[in-house]
């Protein structure tokens, strides 16, 4: 598996299955990814911009926006993990939250292919490797279709 490194090079370990997994996601696309990975039951907080899939996220408490989160609300949710993005979330806010959330995973996919690394990070971190691999394969298949269509144009 190798080291699990986030976008800042911070090393993460796969979750200990004995901990109470509680995830707060400050990134709409990553909230959706976590749900696609089968982690819905562990997501305890999201931003108001995390709106997909609507039927599921409506049951997850909102903690503000991507740039103006309610730090005390996050603290009250007692998360084990916080998922953030370099472009979406303010560094000063993340530093405050890091004082009480033990695991902060920083993401920064730039190109479509970067999502494979992101899927692998989340899959290995949260021990849903099989589902992560399935999503990666589906993503690569669709990316190939897009590239093949571009070549024909």
DSSP the chain: ---EE-TT--EE-PPPTTS---EEE--HHHHHHHHHTT-GGGEEEE-TT--SSHHHHTTSPB-B-SSSB-HHHHHHH--SEEEEETTTS-HHHHHHHTTT-SEEEEE---STTHHHHHHHHHHHHTT-HHHHHHHHHHHHHHHHHHHHHHHH-
Domain count along the chain: 1
Task: Give the domain CATH number at 69.
Answer: 3.40.50.1980
12-36: average pLDDT: 95
Q: pTM surpassing 0.75?
A: yes
104-133: average pLDDT: 96
52-78: average pLDDT: 95
- Residue 1: predicted pLDDT: 61
Q: Which domain holds residue 95?
A: 4-152
- Residue 94: predicted pLDDT: 95
Question: Does 32 have pLDDT greater than 70?
Answer: yes
Question: Does 3 have pLDDT greater than 90?
Answer: no
């Amino acid at each position: 598996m190798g080291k699990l490194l986030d976008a800042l090079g911070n090393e993460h370990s796969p979750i200990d299955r004995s901990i109470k997994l509680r995830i707060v996601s400050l990134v709409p696309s990553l909230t959706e990814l976590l749900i696609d990975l089968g982690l819905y039951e562990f997501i305890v907080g999201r931003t108001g911009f995390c709106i997909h899939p609507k039927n599921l996220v409506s049951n997850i408490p909102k903690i503000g926006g991507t740039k103006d989160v309610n730090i005390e609300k996050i603290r009250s949710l007692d998360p084990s993990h916080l998922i953030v993005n370099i472009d979406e979330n303010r560094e000063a806010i993340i530093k405050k939250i890091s004082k009480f959330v033990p695991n902060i995973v920083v993401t920064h996919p730039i190109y479509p292919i970067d999502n494979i690394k992101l899927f692998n990070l989340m899959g290995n971190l949260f021990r849903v490797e099989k589902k992560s691999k399935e999503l990666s394969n589906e993503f690569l298949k669709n990316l190939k279709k897009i590239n093949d269509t571009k070549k024909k144009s």
